[in-house]
């Protein structure tokens, strides 16, 4: 997969009429730089995104490598001191470490403040593999938080008054949240917190796509869908997508193409599914989990779209992925 440059929108904070998003940590070397890179890649183009540090020490090479592994090039970003004009024009300030939370200067009254208490991967001791894994874990947590932040910034946010845990499945948390809504109303919501997932449509050079027919108890039986699965701890969406099409569809991707993230059911969960297309396919043995009942179906993309239009494909993530794939093929940005 090709590496994207984190777009070099203006470093200076101050353009009128746009959201100004600032990430702060002590050294402005790892966490805030990765957050800046994700925000530049995800946020609307007219937003101004920057990062800074109370004691900047330069861009960390491991952070550059970790972001490059998921297709984002932050090597052109700079480690910068937290200047007064950054804060003066910021709409949202996110601090990413305890030191910055403690020493960050007084914020302008208009700025919304978020704190993400993320461990510093640069402090991990151990082998090169241990350090890479630490950066990957922190990177994926930053990616998840940036996506949720960017998607939610269009409106004022609710104030969470209390959280009551109800059930923890091991990867999903079910909890009750008492909220003060932006309009002043109070409400209680039952929320499922989810680590996210990846969904991928493999496409052959002749335009045939690989779907699966899988038993889904909650849906009442077998459904047609694209291969998909949840993110394991510290796993990137790209790694998850590559793993899932091997396990479920018996194909290995030479290239993955991002089709964008979607919220599944934002009324009660924060689950984000990352959509991909896979090209340069190689047949490999499938390896479904013991509780997965799966058959594969290979058919032309236009037939898959006809099944979607007729209602035979009703799975939301699959409908979105097929539609986005059709768009990118028509645009010429993906070539099977």
Of 30, 104, 199, 240, which is the active-site residue? 104
Identify the CA nearest to 280 among candidates 229, 245, 317.
Answer: 245
Angle at 269 between CA 293 and CA 134, to 5 degrees: 80
Annotated active-site residue 8? The verdict is: no
Catalytic residue status for 240: no
Inter-CA distances, 303 with 125, 208, 279, 314, 322, Å: 53, 9, 19, 15, 11
One of 25, 199, 240, 320 is an active-site residue; which one?
25
Q: What is each CA distance from 134 to 27, 127, 173, 243, in whole angstroms?
A: 18, 11, 23, 20
- Are the C-beta atoms of residues 324 and 318 closer than 8 Å to each other? no
As beta bridge partners, residue 24 has 52, 95
Question: Closest Cα partner for 213 from 182, 245, 248?
Answer: 248
**H-helix or E-strand spanning residue 118:** none
CB 94 within 8 Å of CB 24: yes
Q: What are phi and psi of 66, to 5 degrees?
A: -65, -40
SS (H, E, C) 187-212: EEEEEEECCCEEEEEEECCCCEEEEE
β pairing state of 173-180 and 186-193? antiparallel
The radius of gyration of the chain's CA atoms, rounded to the nearest angstrom, is 21
Q: Is 97 a catalytic residue?
A: yes
Active site amino acids: 25, 97, 104
């Amino acid at each position: 997969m090709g590496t994207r440059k984190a777009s070099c929108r203006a470093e200076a904070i101050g353009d009128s009429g746009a959201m100004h998003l600032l990430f702060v940590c002590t050294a402005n070397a790892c966490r805030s730089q990765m957050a800046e890179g994700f925000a530049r890649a995800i946020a609307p183009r007219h937003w101004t995104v920057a990062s800074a540090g109370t004691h900047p020490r330069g861009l960390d090479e491991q952070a550059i490598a970790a972001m490059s592994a998921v297709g984002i090039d932050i090597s052109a970003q700079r480690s910068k001191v937290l200047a007064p004009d950054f804060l003066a024009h910021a709409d949202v300030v996110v601090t990413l470490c305890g030191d910055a939370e403690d020493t960050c200067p007084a914020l302008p009254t208009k700025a919304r403040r978020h704190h993400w208490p993320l461990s510093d991967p640069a402090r991990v001791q151990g082998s090169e593999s241990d350090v890479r894994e630490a950066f990957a874990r922190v990177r994926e947590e930053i990616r998840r938080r940036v996506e949720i932040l960017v998607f939610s910034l269009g409106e004022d946010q609710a104030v969470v008054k209390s959280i009551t845990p109800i059930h923890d499945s091991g990867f999903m948390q079910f909890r009750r949240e008492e909220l003060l809504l932006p309009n002043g109303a109070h409400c209680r919501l039952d929320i499922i917190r989810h680590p996210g997932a990846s969904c991928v449509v493999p496409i052959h050079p002749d335009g045939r796509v690989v779907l699966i027919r899988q038993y889904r108890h909650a849906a009442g039986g077998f459904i047609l869908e694209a291969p998909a699965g949840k993110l394991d701890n510290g796993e990137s969406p790209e790694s998850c997508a590559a793993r899932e099409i091997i396990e479920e569809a018996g194909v290995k991707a030479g290239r993955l193409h991002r089709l964008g993230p979607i919220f599944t059911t934002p009324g009660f969960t924060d689950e984000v599914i990352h959509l991909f297309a896979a090209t340069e396919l190689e047949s490999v043995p499938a390896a479904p989990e013991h509780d997965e009942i799966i058959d594969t179906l290979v058919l032309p993309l236009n037939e898959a779209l006809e099944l979607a239009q007729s209602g035979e494909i009703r799975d939301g993530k699959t409908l979105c992925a097929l539609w986005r794939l059709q768009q990118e093929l028509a645009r010429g940005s993906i070539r099977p």
